[in-house]
Amino acid sequence: MESSKAYSYKDLIVWQKAMTLVVEIYELTKCFPKEEMYGITSQIRRSAVSIPSNISEGKYRSSKKDFKRFLEISYGSGAELETQIEIAKNVFKKEGFDYLKVEEFLLEVMKMLNKMITSIRINISQLTNILIT
């Protein structure tokens, strides 16, 4: 019987979805005005790349507490990305870019991260209670 435990960050569905999000972000932002390459385009791309990067780094940390912390950093990068997308939507209103795909992927990744963070928090709390009592 195979274990359902993820042995690599590449096995994590949230990492896989976050990687797809990065690709979609690059596709979207390559259409942004060239003068924004070092402005909002760069910011959006860095935030997107940060999400799977922190998931993978956290996966190889030595404890669940460390992993949780890196998931929280990924979640924060997702919030940053969400804000940057809203800024781009306001700044580039006339260009008519389609943000729907990236917003859907981002929402899905954020929900998964939130669930993982909550799950790890509960597990750590239960372990702490066991050790204290």
Give 3-47 pLDDT, tens digit per residue.
455 578 999 999 999 999 999 999 999 999 999 999 999 999 999
Task: Specify if 2 maps to a domain.
Answer: no
CA dist 116 and 112 (Å) reads 6
Query: Do 101 and 23 contact (CB within 8 A), yes or no?
Result: no
Task: Specify if 4 maps to a domain.
Answer: no
101-124 mean pLDDT: 92
Chain centroid to Cα 68, Å, comes to 13
**Number of independent structural domains in the chain:** 1
Tokens describing residue 128: 């702490």
Task: Specify if 122 maps to a domain.
Answer: yes
Task: Specify if 36 maps to a domain.
Answer: yes
Q: What is the pTM of this model?
A: 0.86
pLDDT of 54 above 70: yes
Task: Specify if 42 maps to a domain.
Answer: yes
Using the CB atoms, write b or e for 45-79: b if 16+ within 10 Å.
Answer: bebbbbbbbbbbebbeeeeeeebbbbbbbbbebbe
CATH number, domain with residue 37: 1.20.1440.60
Task: Specify if 5 maps to a domain.
Answer: no
Alpha helices in 30-99 (DSSP H): 40-59, 64-91
- Full residue range of the structural domain in which residue 46 is found: 12-132
- Identity of the amino acid at 9: Y
Task: Specify if 72 maps to a domain.
Answer: yes
